[in-house]
Amino acid sequence: MGRIGVLDSGLGGMVMLQALRKRYPEQDFIFLADQKNSPYGSRTNEELVDIVNRNIAWLKQQQVDSIFMACNTISCLNPDKIDDSVPIQRIIEPTCRQIETIDVKSVVVCATPFTCATHAYKSVLNKICPALKIVEVPLPFLCRDIEEMNDSSIVLEKLRHALKEVSSYDAMILGCTHYPLARALFEQIFPGRILDSNGIQLQCFSQGTGMIEFYTTDDPSYFDLQCERLFHLKIQSKKAGI
């Protein structure tokens, strides 16, 4: 009977966790929202390596059997710098593989500044579809706007400005697990197909009881409020002392 640790900087990982729970209802999970260090996308590589390794150490103390990085930004980190003493499952390649299921010639990758700077999506997509036209659009504001539950009309105008040059592309990949929480706003702006990470498969054990424990590195009461407002989900999270 195995337990999977799910790691993200905050609410985007909750989107992934909900999708995983539907697919693997008997799997046990422990979810860690590192909101104290959010947003990850504005951190340096050195900061992120240190942050992620500390979070992995904490999850190992909770006796997880594997860790799912429910975050595109930290999935871009050099694997050689990350503690892999427990199996690590990453998100970028399986997200990109979805492009094989649709007929497109061009794709927009929307992601954090860190993810865009690594060109991780472009590298994987070029291997899968060498002829694909790819443009990467960093959205430095979006994770924080989502975490702070800011007014959707203001966020929509920011997105409209950021995406004004890419409406002719065939498809868009939301390269951050936070971004599906703003999917309705993307759909108002972008006419093409929109893909995200929620459809990917995960290596699960699926022999547990479906138990989930929720932790945040910041304020549990605020995290619980965010989950209730955004997901209509009542939880009682605990603070992870990391």
pLDDT digits 0-9 by tens, 78-111: 999 999 899 998 989 989 999 998 899 999 999 9
pLDDT over threshold 90, residue 19: no
* Spatial CA neighbour of 158 closest among 133, 139, 176, 178: 139
Residue 238 and residue 220 in contact, taking contact as beta carbons nearer than 8 Å: yes
For residue range 186-210, list pLDDT tens digits in order. 999 999 999 998 877 666 666 788 8
Burial 199-219 (b: 16+ CB within 10 A, else e): ebebebeeebeeebbbbbbbe
Domains of the chain: 3-91+201-239 (3.40.50.1860), 93-199 (3.40.50.1860)
State which amino acid sits at residue 218. D
Q: Residue 215 forms beta bridges with which residues?
A: 32, 238
- The kind and range of the H/E element at 74 are helix 72-75
Overall average pLDDT of the 108-119 stretch: 94
Write the CB contacts of 121 (distance below 8 Å, at least 6 apart in sequence).
72, 92, 96, 109, 111, 115, 134, 136, 173, 175
What is the rounded CA–CA span in Å between residue 210 and residue 204? 12
For residue range 127-171, list pLDDT tens digits in order. 999 999 999 999 999 999 999 999 999 999 999 999 999 989 999
pLDDT band at 211 (very low <50, low <70, confident <90, very high): very high
